[in-house]
Amino acid sequence: MRLQVTVMKLHNFNSGPSILPQPVLEEASNAIHNFNNTGLSILEIGHRTSHFQEVLNNAIASVKRLMQLDDQYEVLFLHGGATTQFMQVPMNLLDDHKTAAYCDNGIWGSKAIKEASLFGDVVVAASSADKNYSYIPKDLQFPENASYLHITTNNTVEGTQWHQYPTTDVPLIGDMSSDIFSREIDFKKFSLIYAGAQKNMGAAGVNMLVIKKDILGKIQRRIPTIMNYQKHIEAGSLMNTPPVFAVYVSMLTLKWIEDEGGLIEMGKRSTERATLLYNTLDSLPLFKTNIAKEDRSEMNAVFFIEDENLQNLFLEECKQAGFIGVKGYRTVGGVRVSMYNALPLSSVAAMTDLMQSFAAKHS
């Protein structure tokens, strides 16, 4: 007699590394054993072989199609997460005795400011620190001759998101790590975009950059070769051994986005998930959020229960229900529900059902 084992369905709300599409996981699993019928694992293929070059070319082509980019832009897949770009952006774009403008809208923007200050003068164009980063300030002030303006398009920790980007005559730089490819936008508003892959775009270990070529070559600083954007462009992302498997998973995920209907469809699903979650949140007085309504993130909903004992009980019930990754970031606390592209609406529905039943018992 065969023993049947029931496995609990898990709902993956992790903020990153986060949920990936099931078809991507299946194809990546197969490739670990036999990549494209080569008899080799994707973990074993040479990075300068035609096999990997095809993977890289396909990934770049998907990015350009999804973003509707022309030949003015280059796409790179590099080592290091977005945090590496906190120093690499100013190293390549900010000369000594020049000024860069940064928006301080959360922990990652604040960290980016700290790193940029090592390479030149930094002015804070706007900050929401006065209200614990609970809103996106709309009135930006910075010098007209600033080298660039840097924003974090979605604040994963605090739960805010830019829904309209600032209009500026200086190059706009975007850290899009946590909302990349989640909606259709005019990517050409940006001169440089960077994003760690591990939220909407693939596995941890690779960082994608989109660079408008005309912003490069304007500084006098000597840049270490491995940190120089121009050298990486010349080498086609192959200056050194790239994170082959992470690039491959990104290629599969980008293909999945295209196959599912592209950014229009991703945006529709994002809004549907967020609407369900926030409508439930607003209907239940037990749950609170301090985030300005017009600035709420569609990727990361952050909320709390005022009674800490009740909040801990809610988090325990989430754990028992198979909800993964819902405890808020250590500096913020509370509850965080991350709703990236691969998260099914049914997972959000399961969360809202639990919120309603918990509120009915404890209100």
Active site residue ranges: 108, 175, 199
Strands 99-104 and 323-324: unpaired
| CA 81 – CA 196 distance, rounded (Å) | 5
* Contact between residue 89 and residue 78 where contact means Cβ atoms under 8 Å apart: no
| CA 35 – CA 89 distance, rounded (Å) | 35
| CA 51 – CA 46 distance, rounded (Å) | 8
| CA 284 – CA 272 distance, rounded (Å) | 19
Which helix (H) or strand (E) segment holds residue 146: the answer is none
Tokens describing residue 147: 């080298």
Note the Cα 270 to chain centre separation in Å: 14
* Contact between residue 15 and residue 328 where contact means Cβ atoms under 8 Å apart: no
Strands 192-196 and 172-175: parallel
Which helix (H) or strand (E) segment holds residue 113: the answer is helix 107-116
